[in-house]
Amino acid sequence: QKEVEQDPGPLSVPEGAIVSLNCTYSNSAFQYFMWYRQYSRKGPELLMYTYSSGNKEDGRFTAQVDKSSKYISLFIRDSQPSDSATYLCAMRDQTGANNLFFGTGTRLTVIP
Amino acid sequence: ETGVTQSPTHLIKTRGQQVTLRCSSQSGHNTVSWYQQALGQGPQFIFQYYREEENGRGNFPPRFSGLQFPNYSSELNVNALELDDSALYLCASSFGGLVQETQYFGPGTRLLVL
């Protein structure tokens, strides 16, 4: 079993839709949770960074962490064609090495 | 503030050869992590360097090695290349102290092994 599971999609939605992306994980030591966006043939770009449980909002993006269920989500409101990309969840524990554990990524296409 | 840069952008090698990839970290960052991203997969942690010392390693064989220089730039070296080493190699920099901060990724080097 992988430490981080993510539905690879692909996911296609019409412009303006609300998008929900999810990851589950097995390691209860994970404390820091991130969402990265990766355009084709580019490096991942940090979107959201959350510590422990709770919600965080930044513009059209909302990140949720439920540590009791080992489940994290990213919501995108009023989706735009420019949101078309692969979304990677990532997480780590509190050890000094700071290595990130990634999901496989969900490929999202927003159709104009 | 400059971002993370990597060179070269693309590289083609043959099986058995050796390769060196380079990374310049973001201004003010003292920690560099390297990841391998196979096609259709998430990045996998190779190792991390903090103040020129290896500070953690993932499940990669010893033929994957690295260096960090006094200016915090870094190299990833891979010896005896195998076909499965074909991937996007990502470098990420961060500021490490008592608590490691968020990692910021470069654009990656795409390696093809024939």
Domain range holding A98? Answer: 4-111
Closest CA in chain A for residue B90: A43
Distance CA B46, CA B113 (A): 18
CATH number of residue A27's parent domain: 2.60.40.10
Tokens of A5: 């599971």
Cβ contact A100–B40 (<8 Å): no
Q: Which of B42, B94, B106 sits opposite A43 (nearest CB)?
A: B106
Residue B100 has pLDDT above 80, yes or no: no
Least CB-CB distance to B107: which of A34, A43, A97?
A43
Structure tokens at A51: 């510590």
Instruction: Note whether B108 and B83 are within 8 A (CB).
Output: no
Question: Domain tally for chain A?
Answer: 1
Beta bridge partners of B33: B48, B92
Length of chain B: 114
B43 with A4: Cβ contact below 8 A: no
Using CA atoms, how far apart are residues A45 and A37, in angstroms rounded to an integer? 5
pLDDT tens digits along A57-105: 999 999 999 999 999 999 999 999 999 999 999 998 877 566 889 999 9
Q: How far apart are CA A104 and CA A6, in angstroms?
A: 6
A19-41 pLDDT tens trace: 999 999 999 989 999 999 999 88
Question: pLDDT tens digit string along B13-62?
Answer: 999 999 999 999 988 888 999 999 999 899 999 999 988 999 889 999 99
- pLDDT of res. B99: 59
